[in-house]
Amino acid sequence: MTTTAVSPALLTDPGLHADGDPHAVWRWMRAHAPVHRHEAAAELPAFWSLTRHGDIRAVYRDAATFSSARGVLLRSGDDPGGGMTLALTDAPRHKQLRGLMADWFNTRAVRGLEGYIRAATRSVLGRAVELGRCDFADDVAGRLSLSVICHILGIPERDHEDLYRWTNEAFEAHTSLVSHPMLVEYFMELLYQRMEEPTDDLVSALVNGTVGGELLTEEEAVFNCENLIGATENGRLALIGGMQAFLEHPEQWQRLAADRSLMPGAIEEILRWTSSATHSMRVATRPVEIRGTRIEAGDRVVLWLPSANRDEDVFTDPYVFDITRSPNRHIALAAGEHFCIGSTLARAEMRVLFTELLDTVGRIEQSGPVRRLRSIEVGGPESLPVRLTAK
Ligand code: HEM
């Protein structure tokens, strides 16, 4: 671990997350300032930072006191999707909206998707092996996670490449997907098609299902499609971060290769270790005390997930990557009513990808430097050059 000057203010600097050691800051805050006030600075409003596992979990589990409706990411103003997308609604609307989408992400649905996930994995891996050298982030993980969510939404295979390009353009420009004109136009067109001729895909459910007795507006349906595409960025980062963890800890890869029954535990450890969602934000709906500190109604509270998942009060040797860790009470996928709806899907993608790698790829070597994302919202490698050699 590199040393970093420990100042909580650094946490809002994307450069710290790309090139520095945010864990040094979080470790200090857990010990010395677990409920820390940041005053408004640069373009960001004032907010509170929470860094301990127990405090963060408690906030997630009290959605009545800690609202998601003004945004769940620390930004200059309120989120334009507030009150509209699944992540950005409170009860009772949140539950109804979640009910509309849940059938596409539950265990049964994901089991039904396994064949598609395996075929998509074999296709990206086959191409990567043929290339020899590739960027695991782009050529494997990115393409895989995007094609799976496109399949769920009902986007025809021939359009996946366009969707991949547009979402990458939006992410690279650090803009919201909503502001990419091609993406908005594409979803509007798809919505109209499904209004006229519904099929059994998720877009059809979004345009024809009701919430509170009313159809979603076109804007709400488009925002939710984009939110689902955007949310898979986390799935992609878990795949890349998992690969990086195995490259840095080859003995853990060997253990998994020797005993496949370790796969479920390995997946949980990758989720804990990578904690790709760097923070969630909530807004207090009433005055409340956390560890004796008073938070006022309207205050923003930022939950730093990678910190919770290295909390030494909860995890033995938290800075050790150990695929046999047990128990492993990570909260990488949040907790409470906003618990990640894509959790089963994300786990299935990890299981299939790492299984296929073990089955079909003989050697995996890193072939260039890793570049990490410059973001305070999601963390992990945005580029991981590797050389894959077939068995
Ligand atoms: C390992 C990968 C993933 C991680 C670490 C992750 C993490 C999270 C976290 C922390 C939240 C809570 C956000 C908040 O309320 O502030 C969340 C919610 C959500 N996630 Fe994931 N996620 C992952 C994969 C996925 C995938 C593959 C999808 C695909 C659809 C997805 C879709 C969503 C959605 C729609 C929500 C909002 C749920 C709600 O508010 O009810 N996630 N995720």
pLDDT tens digit sequence for 179-237: 688 888 999 999 999 999 999 999 999 999 999 899 999 999 999 999 999 999 999 99
Q: How much is the pTM?
A: 0.96
**Does residue 212 belong to any structural domain of this protein?**
yes
User: Which protein residues touch ligand 1 with a CB less than 6 Å away?
Assistant: 68, 72, 86-87, 98, 149, 227-228, 231-232, 234-235, 238, 271, 276-277, 280, 332-334, 338, 340-342, 345-346
For residues 26 and 311, give the distance between their C-alpha atoms in angstroms, rounded to a whole number.
Answer: 9
**Does residue 358 belong to any structural domain of this protein?**
yes
**Does residue 151 belong to any structural domain of this protein?**
yes
Of 374, 111, 349, 92, nearest to 231 by C-alpha is 349
Q: Read off the pLDDT band of 3 (50, 70, 90).
A: very low
Q: Read off the pLDDT band of 5 (50, 70, 90).
A: low
**Does residue 270 belong to any structural domain of this protein?**
yes
Q: Read off the pLDDT band of 169 (50, 70, 90).
A: confident
For residues 379 and 306, give the distance between their C-alpha atoms in angstroms, rounded to a whole number.
Answer: 9
Residue 2 has pLDDT above 90, yes or no: no
pLDDT given at position 94 = 97
Ligand 1, atom 20, residue with closest C-alpha = 340
326: domain CATH number is 1.10.630.10
Q: Atom of ligand 1 at shortest distance to CA of 98?
A: 41
| Cβ-based neighbour number of residue 247 at 10 Å | 16
Report pLDDT digits (tens) over 34-57. 999 999 998 899 999 999 999 999
- Omega before 92 cis (within 30°)? yes
For residues 184 and 85, give the distance between their C-alpha atoms in angstroms, rounded to a whole number.
Answer: 15
**Does residue 92 belong to any structural domain of this protein?**
yes
Mean per-residue pLDDT over the chain, rounded: 95
Q: Atom of ligand 1 at shortest distance to CA of 274?
A: 5
Provide the 8-state DSSP code for 306.
H
Q: How many domains does the chain have?
A: 1
Contacts with 85 (C-beta within 8 Å, 6 or more apart), sequence order: 220, 223, 224, 227
Q: Which run of H or E residues covers position 171?
A: helix 160-172
**Does residue 368 belong to any structural domain of this protein?**
yes
Ligand 1, atom 21, residue with closest C-alpha = 340
Q: Which two tokens stand for residue 208?
A: 């024809």
Task: Quote the domain boundaries for residue 272.
Answer: 8-390
Ligand 1 pocket mutation, candidates 153, 234, 301, 338, criterion most atoms within 8 A of CB: 234
How large is the average pLDDT for residues 331-358? 98
Of 81, 100, 98, nearest to 184 by C-alpha is 81
**Does residue 3 belong to any structural domain of this protein?**
no
**Does residue 178 belong to any structural domain of this protein?**
yes
